[in-house]
Chain A
């Protein structure tokens, strides 16, 4: 169980993603606080797929770097894409009446964060967290 792909299209999938991410984070050995950070971040990114792109995929896997263990999660959709990524990454920016903290928050909670988005063809967000 070091790689899992989950199709997401509605709010029950958010709970499912959280559960699977938690299982893997526990298995890798993350402590309670880091588990909470990772799951919260993934909850935000998965909801973004559902709210802004209606459906997509979440890929969860264990990764290694110079002897360190970590978790990598990719959230990909084929939705409308983000016009101005820089703007979307500002605290409080929202096009949906949210708090506008989902993306920036996920970035703060994880160790690595990368967004790629093409208007009209979709968005991919990759995040990683390493064991201390």
Chain B
């Protein structure tokens, strides 16, 4: 599966449309970091509105993408986490150490990125 990574201004936008296998998640991480490097993106929005399940592997991968992106000078915001997914992640045991920034939707995610750079 090829997941498109759109570039709008200085921001990359990645929309996950369906559940991904572990390998696809790994490929995606690689692609995102590659693209950040290539285009010098200042921010990345990962929209997971369509995901009905986020398990520890997915959570860990999002965290790694965010940490690596920071090293490349880019900020990641995950948007669209569903209420049931959020509560389940907390019950699963995701700690505050999960340092990924989150926002309700794409618009708010972009706002956060704008504020960060101001």
User: Do A and B touch, yes or no (CB under 8 Å, in the complex)?
Assistant: yes
B114 to chain A, nearest CB (A): 31
Mask of A19-33 contacts with B, CB within 8 angstroms, 1/0: 000100000000011
Which residues of chain B are within 8 angstroms of A55 by Cβ–Cβ distance? none
Which residues of chain B are within 8 angstroms of A36 by Cβ–Cβ distance? 52-53, 82, 84-85, 87-88
| Contact between chains at A105 and B53 (CB < 8 Å) | no
> With A14-B22, A18-B19 as given contacts, are A104 and B55 in contact (CB-CB < 8 Å)?
no
Say if the beta carbon of A11 comes within 8 Å of chain B. yes
Say if the beta carbon of A112 comes within 8 Å of chain B. no
Give chain B's interface residues, CB within 8 Å of chain A.
19, 21-23, 52-57, 59-60, 82-85, 87-89, 91-94
Q: Among residues 73 to 102 in chain A, which have CB atoms less than 8 Å away from a CB atom of chain B?
A: 91, 98-99, 101-102
A45 to chain B, nearest CB (A): 10
| Contact between chains at B55 and A108 (CB < 8 Å) | no
> Measured between alpha carbons, how far is A74 from B89 in the docked complex, in Å?
22
| Contact between chains at B88 and A44 (CB < 8 Å) | no
Which residue in chain B gives the minimum CB-CB distance to A43? Answer: B55
Interface size on A, residues (CB 8 A): 26
Candidates B53, B54, B56, B82; contact of A98 at CB < 8 Å: B56
| Contact between chains at A37 and B88 (CB < 8 Å) | yes
| Contact between chains at B21 and A40 (CB < 8 Å) | no
Which residues of chain A are within 8 angstroms of B56 by Cβ–Cβ distance? 44, 98-99, 101-102, 105
Say if the beta carbon of A47 comes within 8 Å of chain B. yes
> Measured between alpha carbons, how far is A40 from B54 in the docked complex, in Å?
7
Closest 8 interchain pairs by CB?
A: A105-B92, A11-B22, A101-B93, A43-B55, A36-B84, A11-B21, A33-B84, A105-B93
